[in-house]
Structure 1
Amino acid sequence: MKKIIILGLLVALNSACNPDFLDIKRDRKQVIPKSLNDFNLLLGDETLFSGNSSAAMRTAAGEEFTLSESAWDLLTTFGEKNAYRWEDDRFIGTECPDWNYGYKRILSANIILEGLAKIERTAANANVYDQVKGKALFHRANANFQLASEFAAPIGDEEHKAYGLPLRKSADPQEVSIRSSVAETYASILDDLLAAQQLLSTEFTDFYQPSKRTANALLARIYLSMGEYNQALAVVKDVFGGKEKLLRYEDFSTSKRYTFPSDGIGNTEIIFNDQGYSTESIVPAKGRINMELMTLYAENDLRRSLFFKLEQDGMYSFKGSYLGFGGVFTGLALDEMYLIYAECLIRVGQVQLGLDKLNELLETRFAPGTYERYSDLGQSAALDLVLLERRKQLLIRGLRWIDLRRFNFIENRNIELQRTLAGKGYTLKAKDLKYTFLVPNNVIINSRVTQFPR
């Protein structure tokens, strides 16, 4: 019976893979999950909730790597191909996996939440009930944030603040979809996540299953992206409970094809394991790390040899994913939390405390006995330093695009990106409209969602 239930849900979810899924006609006679045990089984689906995250387009657009003309020609994913060149992508006659997979997670979370509403919460089932609800809310918040990072206008873009996400709160395929504002989008994400934080267990047992710590880590990431540094500082503190353990990079071999443990197993820094559905452009056969980025690593910085491999063409490929294979790690990890903690401390004026937190992380990234601790820096210099280390430590995680939106639209840092492909130059201006990706064309046709202007 359980196999039938899960199969019924998968049929429904697979309908969401079509670009016009906001208007899908789902067979109401399909067997769908009804019990708390059913919901727990579905929440344990690692492929659904911890695989196929919406990150390929923002990873391709984030200027961390380069492609030759021949490598670019070999890309098969339309969105990733055009995102690399910062070109308009209308998805006419093709699919947009970043959009589809994000809403597939949201649909599944909504099915669970609607099912829960039909079950009485009792003293006997309260703990399981709360965990199921908290996890579903976490996954919906996570998916919406990933989608907002690509398809909603950046926070700080006041001219386009009406262009948030279509917020799906129901599994009903007949629900008419319209855009929410950017403020409404982030308010909904935070509402879900704050509710999840109150429900989830404090016990961390499995990096595929959200806990209270996981919710706090995602809250810290989101608040940082919003430029809400006091809030980010308040929640990131709760990620640290005294039991966290940083990896010591000196313990890893430089000779392995992939540096870190396969599937993240044994990686003590991973808080929540999540990965992009596919990012073809970063595989060693195609992508090469931006040489300007490579020059930022000192010779005694172990990340230089553990993150990258020197290829025969004299350039470097990426091998440092925390997944332990060629996929893009988009989950939550302790190194990111250290950097958020350090940055926010510095931003609120606690400069040396922030440097101390940064030093604690960096001394595990350098060859033994070679790291020189930072101290006695002014606030501006300390902030520049932590942002540089953020770029060096968190590359190829889909975070650079989120940072660029924050830096340009909230902080007015005026960062302009440039690329050359097949002899043609491409430029992304600091506040370019292309920092917001276009909604797939079939969604525009089959809903009341308005397209982002160009």
Structure 2
Amino acid sequence: MKKLIILGLTIALTSACNPDFLDIKRDRKQVIPESLDDFNLLLGDVSLFSGSSAASMRSAAAEEFTLSESAWDLITTFGEKNAYRWQDERFMDTECPDWNYGYKRILSAHIILEGLSKIERTGANANVYDQVKGKALFHRANAYFQLASEFAAPIGDEEHNAYGLPLRKSADPQEVSIRSSVSETYNSILEDLLAAQQLLGVESTDFYQPSKSTAYALSARVYLAMGRYNDALEAAKTVLDGAGKLLNYQNFSASSRYSFPSRGVGNSEILFYDQGYSTESVAPTKGRINADLITSYAENDLRKNLFFKLESDGLYSYKGSYVGSSSVFTGLALDEMYLIYAECLIRAGQVQLGLDKLNELLVTRFAKNTYQEYKGLEKNAALDLVLLERRKQLLIRGLRWIDLRRFNFIENRNIQLHRALAGEMYTLMAKDLKFTFLAPNNVIVNSKVIQFPR
């Protein structure tokens, strides 16, 4: 098997102006991908495309869990540690993994797309060609969306629309990076997803490989983050019309160390598998779930014991990840599509239809014959309910931070965050500039990327 070496992969965007890495020594086993088989091999790199999503900082910042002073001291990841307190993360003498891992995926996608442009699409190779292109576009869109959720200004913050992402145009290491606007950033993401929807097959051989359904699922997530609720509704409906089966939580044991199977094996809800590269603070030895979340689960709600474990300190740790470990699941799953669909139906005035879809999900989360369906709620009460259930079902997936940005900057819900640590109280105001993380210092120094203001 060929060993594919992607020049500059570990450097990603941070060394965009530094040609030194071009001097990397090659041997006969090291080749640059150039054939469809090579590109498929690269797309099969699970550790890159499904095991290193950029979610550590937004997971730490989203106020779903707390850290004691001693637990916080044990965190070794600089960005995660500062994000927990909503402190500026200058990265003067250290790397920013959330930034680097995202741009590694983008670099690999560009290498594939540029390589495809040199291969003739024929009747014989059309299907493989289209699948390779569709997958590369999906991965690029997914990486840019994750990065935008941390390093681009939120949708709705019109004053800072100029502060989108650096949209890399190629794999050329000499390309000098500049910021695009927020509008341009999200338009680029949606363009990739629309193209991927046309190219990808309806089904995938496994949940590590994107399909048409996963492209629609990611579109639903992006549209929701943008406040484009009608578009999110249609995208989620397309997913729900075509694939997947909800898990019955009655079939899982609360006594297991981790409630769900390792790496999602056999999990029928997973549409596309992805996990964060590392989020130390979520580990059971450190993080403790916020008390308001714990008390929000009803007595017969199986999620309380499947998602959490009561520790010796009287607080709850998190064990319910669809990764089947303490890692953060950042992929796409059917439960999220149900919640997006229900929320958007309610927003569109189809309140009972939205509640029916929510009921369809929740009955699988409760002990047998104990769930009481929601009926007859007025619109605002129904919306509050589905947003609460979204928080309870999708916690510790890197989504809460995205939701908080949406709620505050698009809907003006004025949600403030508060944390106490080592005798100090930290507060993040509803439209604080710190809802956008700073770009790494070495990017600012080695490119034309303008730092986000403080």
User: TM-score higher than 0.5 here?
Assistant: yes
Unpaired stretches in structure 2, ≥5 consecutive residues: none
Aligned to 1:272: 272
SS in 1 for 2:449: coil
CA deviations on 1:250-289 (whole Å, 9 max, x unpaired) are 1100110000011100000000000000000010000000
Question: How much has 1:445 moved relative to structure 2?
Answer: 0.2
TM-score normalised over the length of structure 1 = 0.97
CA deviations on 1:304-351 (whole Å, 9 max, x unpaired) are 000000000000000000011110000000000000000000001111
Question: How much has 1:242 moved relative to structure 2?
Answer: 5.2
SS in 2 for 1:425: strand
Aligned to 2:310: 310
> What CA distance in whole angstroms lies between the structure 1 residues aligned with 2:71 and 2:191?
42
Cα contact 1:288–1:316 (8 A) shared by 2 = yes
Question: How much has 1:176 moved relative to structure 2?
Answer: 1.1
Aligned to 1:225: 225
Question: CA 1:55/1:409 → structure 2, altered by over 3 Å: closer, same or farther?
Answer: same
Which of 4, 7, 12 is the matching residue for 2:8? 12
Q: Which amino acid aligns with 1:359?
A: N
SS in 1 for 2:271: strand
CA deviations on 1:407-442 (whole Å, 9 max, x unpaired) are 000000000000000010000000000000000000
Unpaired stretches in structure 1, ≥5 consecutive residues: none
Aligned to 1:23: 17
Stretches of 4+ moved more than 6 A in 1?
Answer: none
Question: How much has 1:244 moved relative to structure 2?
Answer: 2.2
TM-score normalised over the length of structure 2 = 0.97
Structure 1 stretch displaced more, 240-249 or 222-231: 240-249
Cα contact 2:14–2:100 (8 A) shared by 1 = no
Question: How much has 1:240 moved relative to structure 2?
Answer: 1.6
Question: How much has 1:28 moved relative to structure 2?
Answer: 8.3
Cα contact 2:55–2:398 (8 A) shared by 1 = yes
> What CA distance in whole angstroms lies between the structure 2 residues aligned with 1:158 and 1:282?
33
> What CA distance in whole angstroms lies between the structure 2 residues aligned with 1:238 and 1:47?
29
> What CA distance in whole angstroms lies between the structure 1 residues aligned with 2:230 and 2:16?
37
Cα contact 1:53–1:330 (8 A) shared by 2 = yes
Cα contact 2:8–2:173 (8 A) shared by 1 = no
> What CA distance in whole angstroms lies between the structure 2 residues aligned with 1:52 and 1:240?
27
Count of residues in correspondence between the two structures: 448
> What CA distance in whole angstroms lies between the structure 2 residues aligned with 1:242 and 1:193?
18
SS in 2 for 1:80: helix
Aligned to 2:351: 351
Question: How much has 1:2 moved relative to structure 2?
Answer: 1.3
Question: How much has 1:14 moved relative to structure 2?
Answer: 1.9
> What CA distance in whole angstroms lies between the structure 1 residues aligned with 2:441 and 2:11?
17
Aligned to 1:438: 438
> What CA distance in whole angstroms lies between the structure 2 residues aligned with 1:146 and 1:402?
9
Question: How much has 1:299 moved relative to structure 2?
Answer: 1.1
Question: How much has 1:24 moved relative to structure 2?
Answer: 4.0
> What CA distance in whole angstroms lies between the structure 2 residues aligned with 1:398 and 1:138?
19
Question: How much has 1:27 moved relative to structure 2?
Answer: 2.5
Cα contact 1:15–1:24 (8 A) shared by 2 = no
1:183-332 maps to which residues of 2 (within 5 A)? 183-241=183-241, 243-332=243-332
Q: Which amino acid aligns with 2:8?
A: A
Aligned to 2:72: 72
Q: Which amino acid aligns with 2:117?
A: A
> What CA distance in whole angstroms lies between the structure 2 residues aligned with 1:39 and 1:24?
26
Query: Identity, % of aligned pairs?
Result: 76
SS in 1 for 2:426: strand
SS in 2 for 1:163: coil
Cα contact 2:106–2:143 (8 A) shared by 1 = yes
Aligned to 2:165: 165
Aligned to 1:124: 124
Q: Which amino acid aligns with 2:252?
A: F
1:137 equivalent to 2:132? Answer: no
SS in 1 for 2:79: helix
SS in 2 for 1:20: helix
Question: CA 1:76/1:298 → structure 2, altered by over 3 Å: closer, same or farther?
Answer: same
SS in 1 for 2:132: helix
CA deviations on 1:80-134 (whole Å, 9 max, x unpaired) are 0000000011100011000000000000000000000000000000000000000
1:39-58 maps to which residues of 2 (within 5 A)? 39-58=39-58
Aligned to 2:34: 34
Structure 1 stretch displaced more, 195-204 or 358-367: 195-204
CA deviations on 1:348-368 (whole Å, 9 max, x unpaired) are 111110000000000000011
SS in 1 for 2:241: coil
RMSD: 1.1
Cα contact 2:213–2:243 (8 A) shared by 1 = no
Question: How much has 1:20 moved relative to structure 2?
Answer: 2.4
> What CA distance in whole angstroms lies between the structure 1 residues aligned with 2:259 and 2:396?
15
SS in 2 for 1:320: coil
